């Protein structure tokens, strides 16, 4: 049986890869925290949907690494319009309810897992 965490992260990938702004906006919380090559911080679902449509990115999951009930790292092959060779990246996801509330893209699996473990320990000590 698929967990809420897996379902939310799977839905996020499906909406991003489809490039449809409506479902993409519905897959995230308001706000959603993002991290990528162009910066970090909270954005609205509409801003997230705009990024999905504008970037044309495709993120194909390769490996899934659950860290806690709300945190998951997914190693992905990323492509953009005009790119033919995928770039391997990893994204740390946090899920709240049934939506992604943070999507933190890092350059590799080790970096994403390191950040995930720090986030998990910080949450456990609140």
72 within 8 A of 6, measured Cβ to Cβ = yes
pLDDT, position 38? 81
35 within 8 A of 48, measured Cβ to Cβ = no
**CA atoms of 21 and 18, how far apart (whole Å):** 9
Neighbour count for residue 20 (Cβ, 10 Å): 15
69 within 8 A of 5, measured Cβ to Cβ = yes
pLDDT, position 113? 98
For domain 4-124, the CATH architecture is: Roll (3.10)
58 within 8 A of 17, measured Cβ to Cβ = yes
pLDDT, position 37? 84
What are the mean pLDDT values of the chain's consecutive 10-residue runs (126 residues total)? 92 96 97 92 97 94 97 97 94 98 98 97 89
pLDDT, position 88? 97
74 within 8 A of 116, measured Cβ to Cβ = no
Q: pTM for this structure? A: 0.95
User: Domain coordinates of the chain in residue numbers?
Assistant: 4-124
């Amino acid at each position: 049986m698929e967990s809420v965490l897996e379902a939310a992260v799977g839905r996020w990938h499906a909406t991003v890869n489809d490039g449809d702004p409506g479902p993409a906006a519905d897959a995230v919380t308001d706000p959603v925290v993002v991290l990528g090559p162009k910066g970090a911080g909270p954005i609205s679902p509409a801003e997230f949907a705009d990024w999905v449509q504008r970037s044309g990115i495709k993120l194909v999951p390769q490996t899934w690494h659950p860290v806690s009930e709300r945190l998951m790292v997914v190693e992905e092959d990323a492509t953009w319009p005009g790119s033919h060779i995928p770039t391997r990246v990893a994204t740390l996801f946090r899920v709240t309810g049934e939506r992604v509330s943070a999507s933190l893209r890092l350059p590799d699996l080790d970096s994403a897992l390191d950040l995930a473990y720090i986030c998990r320990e910080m949450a456990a000590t609140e």
